[in-house]
């Protein structure tokens, strides 16, 4: 465990057993391998005569697998020199799978040609190439592809490795796999190889006749799935989301330190978060340590944020004795909708034994306007249905990745987003149809929404953003720049005229909506500058999140009430800021909200200059499609708005998103639309107009 090879040699010479087991069923060889102590391993092999062929009680504690996963190259070389076989663990993962998971490309190169180096595992039917793609290990991908690993192989959900690289935001890996797949397709004729799982299913049922088969007891889906109008919203309570895990913890510079001794076991500690007073909260438990790419969100409601206190208690994973505790009092949370804090964790002697970092986002209820379902307000509906299942349809249960990975792939499953495999996909429908004008909205310092699609105002003298000026100052600047030519509200405008007005004008949102006929829908992107945006563009001010969202909603409801006698306007909200989407959805029940994301890319066809990229937000939630889906599911959003080029590269992502019960829209150029339509896209945004499909019941 400590790497003292001389002590090991002396103990073995005195007759101590080299295969003694401790309380964790671990032998000295296990600890020497995890430590990476080449000399200790050599002593155990040559002096203690430990057999590399023998298996231990736990099928996951295989020395070669442990060394491969831990990245100890010299230990792997030594074990192979002594004839260590490449054996699978309980989930069918060979040492190459584990090395690919952790990104040890030199070990992958060493193990290429060993047993199982390109064999699917038992749990996901993943080869090492899939593991390298899922975790974004480009060098491992290169090694495996050069060795002949097939890039066109699919897993039990019929997804290829490039699907998971794209889903988790590893875009360099996507490019590498796409190039490899093109080369492979050009050089080989596609051959269908049945998976081991499907072969075993066929063998087990081949001798049964139809009359002997067990009939399915599942009921068919309803012919007309029920519609859900609107969504849950805040009435009197305040929503609180506590996020634990650094916003950019997926990047190497902020990785978490792991304890190698317990790499093979389950987490030994848990953090229990308790909120008081809370209306809808039970204690929330988190297993430690958190994975590098994990972010845990604890959501609850409180009567008032002014009295909120949080308690963080550290326990053994199995036990009730408190190891340490931290507390956050109402006065320490401070004002504002978003807060970040780091608290010391004290033990019972008041010694600091660690710290907990967290962020709090609060969403207050929307007041000042009577929220109604029906009447002058157009409330959307959605419905989710599944087609009749077929014998070939294979339902799968969502598998979520826990915070700490052991050697078994059961704890590294990538398929959290996959609900139903091909052959039986879910279908999500909504009342949205027709065309919507896309308008970028920001809020001035005096809380007035305006239509303006850039972060910086067109002023040559000062670096100013919309939130740095009042509405009067904003309109005065528009007059000086000649960007406020609004036609009379009574004039008849064509679609192109309205698009031209939106693109060139700097106007108040209320004035702009008055010239757009009430029967035409609007898609409002609420642009909210992040701290990096303010810093990069030297802007000075940012309106509070709740104040900004309330201002936009108040304007929409006021205009809608005035338009009620001529028709109910369709309104859709979207934003590239996940906190804005959460606030928009929780504050009202009538209008749908889409989370717009570039998924870690910087596309050339973003709908506005305010589209946030990773460099603009430094937020894990904008870095991948997996995180974007998580944002939608956590906040009950209707759907996602993604880059069309991204979806065209990996079309399987479209159905994967829809299987999560979300609608999917795309932004891009018109030439990208045909392929997206053939894959079932729900909406497409180009040239300032969002057009929804008309597939309804």
Q: Of 38-42, 200-204, 253-257, which gets the smallest average pLDDT?
A: 253-257
With beta carbons less than 8 A apart as the criterion, state whether 654 and 631 touch: no
CA pair distance 221, 226, nearest whole angstrom? 11
Cβ contacts of residue 201 below 8 Å, gap of 6+? none
Q: In what order do the strands lie in the sheet with 296-302?
A: 284-288, 269-276, 309-316, 324-328, 338-346, 352-363, 238-244, 296-302
Domains of the chain: total? 3
| Of the candidates 464, 512, 524, the residue with the CA atom closest to the CA atom of residue 487 | 512
End-to-end CA distance of the chain: 65
463 and 523 part of one domain: yes
Encode pLDDT of 72-112 as tens digits.
Answer: 999 999 999 999 999 999 889 999 999 999 999 999 999 99
Residue 118 DSSP label: T
Confidence class of residue 295 from pLDDT cuts 50, 70 and 90? confident
Q: Which residues contact 407 (CB under 8 A, 6 or more apart)?
A: 60, 61, 65, 66, 69, 89, 93, 98, 264
CA distance 452 to 439: 8
- If asked whether residues 607 and 468 sit together in one domain, one would say yes
Mean pLDDT, rounded, for 425-445:
89
pLDDT above 50: residue 200: no
Is 577's pLDDT higher than 90?
Answer: yes
Could you tell me the two tokens for 530? 């992040």
* Domain co-membership, 359 together with 445: no
Q: Which of 201-205, 423-427, 672-676 has the lowest mean pLDDT?
A: 201-205
Q: Give the 3-state DSSP-derived string for 385-409, with helices as H, strands as E and coil as C.
A: ECCCCCCCCCECCCCCCCCCCCCCH
Distance, CA of 336 to CA of 76 (rounded, Å): 53
Higher pLDDT, 217 or 393: 217
| Strand 228-229, strand 309-316: pairing | unpaired
Residue 206 is assigned to a structural domain of this protein: no
Query: Are 473 and 579 within one domain?
Result: yes
More confident residue, 290 or 222: 290
Q: Among 259-268, 549-558, 665-674, which stretch is predicted with the lowest mean pLDDT?
A: 259-268
- Residue 608: name the closest of 447, 460, 442, 496 by CA: 442
- Residue 233 in any domain: the answer is no
Question: Does residue 448 lie within any of the structural domains?
Answer: yes
Condensed to tens digits (0 to 9), the pLDDT of residues 462-490 reads 899 999 999 999 999 999 988 876 666 55
- Tokens representing residue 63 in the block: 């020395």
The mean pLDDT value for 184-197 works out to 61
C-alpha to C-alpha distance for 149 and 133, rounded to whole angstroms: 12
Ranked by mean pLDDT, which of 296-300, 315-319, 444-448, 497-501 comes out on top?
444-448
Per-residue confidence band for 549, with pLDDT thresholds at 50, 70 and 90: very high
Q: 54 with 109, same domain?
A: yes
More confident residue, 399 or 167: 167
Please indicate, yes or no, whether residues 85 and 9 belong to a single structural domain of this protein.
Answer: yes
> Residue 540 pLDDT > 90, yes or no?
no
Report yes or no on 67 lying in a domain.
yes
Distance CA 688, CA 691 (A): 10
Same domain for 151 and 255, yes or no, is: no
Range of the domain at 182: 5-194
Per-residue pLDDT reduced to its tens digit, 243-264: 987 554 433 333 333 444 444 4
Residue 568 pLDDT exceeds 60? yes
Same-domain check for residues 447 and 579: yes
SS3 label, residue 643: strand
Quick one: 316 and 452 in the same domain?
no
pLDDT (tens digit per residue) in 370-385: 556 556 677 888 887 6
pLDDT band at 411 (very low <50, low <70, confident <90, very high): very low
Q: Does residue 667 share a domain with residue 539?
A: yes
The DSSP result for 474-507, as a single string, is HHHHHHHHT---PPPTTS---HHHHHHHHHH--E
The answer as to whether 171 is a domain residue is yes
Burial annotation 115-127 (CB, 10 A radius, 16+ → b, else e): ebbbbbbbbbbbb
Mean pLDDT, residues 345-360: 92
Q: Are 443 and 450 in contact (CB under 8 A)?
A: yes
The confidence score (pLDDT) of residue 418 equals 39
Structure-block tokens of residue 403: 């915070």
- Picking from 346, 363, 380, the residue at the C-terminal end of a domain is 363
Calculate helix-pair angle for 138-146, 171-187, nearest 10 degrees: 10
Domain at 260, CATH number = 2.60.40.150
d(CA 91, CA 77): 24
**Domain assignment of residue 380, yes or no:** no
What's the pLDDT score for residue 408?
41
pLDDT band at residue 56 using 50, 70 and 90 as cut-offs: low
Rounded to an integer, what distance in angstroms lies between the CA atom of residue 105 and that of residue 435? 50
Cα 170–175–176 angle (5° rounding)? Answer: 95
- The confidence band for 288, taking pLDDT boundaries of 50, 70 and 90, is confident
User: 178, 194, 210 — which closes off a domain?
Assistant: 194
Q: Report pTM.
A: 0.85
Instruction: Judge if 494 and 578 occupy the same domain.
Output: yes
Closest CA to 42 of 28, 21, 61: 28
The confidence score (pLDDT) of residue 442 equals: 97
CA 416 to chain centre: 10
Ranked by mean pLDDT, which of 328-332, 435-439, 612-616 comes out on top? 435-439
> How distant, in Å, are the alpha carbons of 78, 645, 646, 657, 691 from that of 679?
51, 13, 13, 12, 16
Residue 135 maps to which CATH number? 1.25.40.20
Model confidence pLDDT, tens digit, residues 109-150: 999 989 999 999 988 899 999 999 999 999 999 999 999 999
**Beta-sheet strands, E only, within 303-416:** 309-316, 324-328, 338-346, 352-363, 381-385
Report if residue 337 sits inside a domain. Answer: yes
142, 41: one domain: yes
What pLDDT score was predicted for residue 261? 41
User: Taking Cα atoms as reference points, which of 572, 407, 439 lies closest to residue 508?
Assistant: 439
Domain CATH code at residue 521: 3.20.20.190
Interatomic CA distance for residues 37 and 1, integer angstroms = 9
Where residue 208 falls among pLDDT bands split at 50, 70, 90? very low
Instruction: Go through the chain and tell me how many residues it has.
Output: 697
Taken in order 619, 624, 628, 630, is the CA torsion positive or negative?
A: negative
Q: Which of 332, 363, 394 is the last residue of a domain?
A: 363
What average pLDDT does the chain have? 82
- Rounded to the nearest 10°, the torsion over CA 413, 416, 420, 423 is -60
pLDDT the model gives residue 218: 61
Whether residue 401 lies inside any domain: the answer is: no
Question: Which residue's structure tokens are 């974004």?
Answer: 136
For residue range 496-531, what is the model confidence (pLDDT) as tens digits? 888 888 888 899 999 999 888 888 899 999 999 999
Using CB atoms within 10 A of its CB, is residue 104 exposed (0-12), middle (13-18) or buried (19+)? Answer: buried
pLDDT of residue 217: 62
Inter-residue contact 664 to 406 (CB < 8 Å): no
């Amino acid at each position: 465990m400590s790497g003292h090879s001389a002590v090991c040699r002396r103990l073995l010479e005195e007759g101590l057993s080299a295969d003694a087991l401790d309380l964790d069923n671990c032998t000295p060889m296990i600890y020497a391998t995890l430590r990476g102590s080449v000399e200790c391993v050599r002593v155990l092999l040559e002096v203690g005569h430990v057999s590399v062929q023998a298996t231990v009680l736990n099928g996951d504690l295989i020395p070669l697998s442990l060394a491969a996963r831990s990245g100890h190259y010299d230990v792997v070389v030594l074990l192979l020199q002594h004839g260590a076989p490449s054996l699978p663990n309980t989930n069918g993962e060979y040492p190459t799978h584990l090395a690919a998971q952790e990104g040890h490309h030199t070990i992958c190169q060493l193990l290429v040609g060993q047993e199982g180096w390109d064999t699917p595992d038992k749990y996901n039917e993943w080869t090492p190439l899939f593991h390298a793609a899922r975790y974004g290990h480009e060098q491992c991908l290169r090694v495996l592809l050069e060795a002949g690993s097939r890039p066109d192989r699919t897993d039990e959900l019929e997804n290829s490795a490039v699907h998971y690289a794209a889903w988790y935001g590893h875009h360099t890996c996507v490019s590498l796999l796409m190039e490899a797949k093109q080369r492979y397709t050009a050089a080989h004729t596609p051959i269908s190889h049945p998976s081991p799982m499907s072969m075993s299913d066929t063998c087990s049922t081949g001798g049964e006749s139809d009359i002997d088969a067990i009939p399915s007891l599942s009921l068919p889906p309803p012919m007309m799935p029920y519609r859900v109008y609107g969504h849950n919203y805040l009435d009197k309570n305040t929503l609180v989301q506590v996020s634990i895990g650094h916003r950019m913890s997926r990047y190497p510079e902020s990785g978490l330190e792991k304890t190698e001794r317990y790499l093979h076991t389950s987490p030994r500690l848990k953090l229990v978060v308790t909120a008081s007073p809370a209306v809808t909260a039970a204690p929330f438990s988190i297993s430690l340590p958190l994975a590098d790419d994990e972010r845990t969100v604890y959501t609850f409601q409180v009567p008032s944020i002014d009295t909120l206190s949080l308690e963080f208690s550290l326990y053994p994973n199995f036990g009730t004795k408190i190891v340490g505790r931290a507390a956050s009092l109402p006065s320490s949370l401070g004002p504002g909708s978003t807060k970040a804090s780091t608290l010391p964790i004290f033990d019972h002697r008041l010694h600091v034994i660690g710290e907990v970092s967290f962020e709090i986002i609060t969403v207050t209820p929307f007041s000042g306007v009577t929220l109604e379902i029906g009447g002058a307000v157009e409330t959307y509906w959605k419905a989710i249905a599944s087609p009749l299942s077929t014998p070939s349809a294979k339902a799968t249960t969502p598998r979520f990745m826990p915070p700490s990975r052991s050697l078994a792939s059961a704890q590294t499953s990538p398929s959290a987003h996959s609900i139903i495999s091909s052959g039986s996909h879910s279908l999500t429908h909504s009342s949205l149809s027709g065309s919507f004008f896309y308008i970028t909205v920001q809020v001035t310092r005096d809380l007035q929404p305006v239509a303006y699609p850039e972060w910086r105002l067109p002023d040559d003298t000062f670096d100013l953003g919309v939130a740095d000026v009042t509405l009067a100052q904003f309109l005065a600047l528009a007059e000086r720049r000649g960007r406020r030519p609004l036609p009379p509200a009574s004039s008849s405008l064509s679609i192109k005229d309205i698009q031209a007005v939106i693109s060139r004008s700097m106007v108040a949102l209320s004035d702009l909506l008055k010239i757009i006929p009430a029967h035409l829908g609007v898609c409002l992107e609420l642009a909210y500058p992040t701290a990096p945006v303010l810093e990069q563009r030297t802007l000075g001010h940012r309106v509070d999140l709740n104040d900004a969202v309330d201002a936009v909603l108040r304007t929409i409801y006021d205009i809608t009430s005035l338009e009620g006698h001529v028709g109910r306007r369709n309104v859709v909200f979207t934003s590239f800021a996940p906190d804005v989407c959460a606030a928009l959805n929780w504050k009202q029940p009538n209008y749908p909200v889409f989370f717009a994301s570039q998924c870690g890319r910087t596309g050339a066809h973003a709908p506005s200059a305010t589209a946030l990229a990773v460099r603009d937000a430094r937020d894990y939630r904008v870095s991948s499609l997996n995180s974007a889906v998580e944002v939608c599911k956590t906040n009950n959003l209707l759907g996602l708005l993604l880059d069309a080029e991204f979806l065209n590269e990996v079309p399987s992502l479209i159905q994967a998103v829809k299987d999560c019960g979300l609608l999917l829209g795309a932004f891009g150029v018109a030439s990208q639309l045909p392929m997206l339509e053939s894959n079932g896209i729900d909406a497409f945004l180009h040239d300032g107009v969002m057009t929804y499909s008309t597939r309804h019941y």
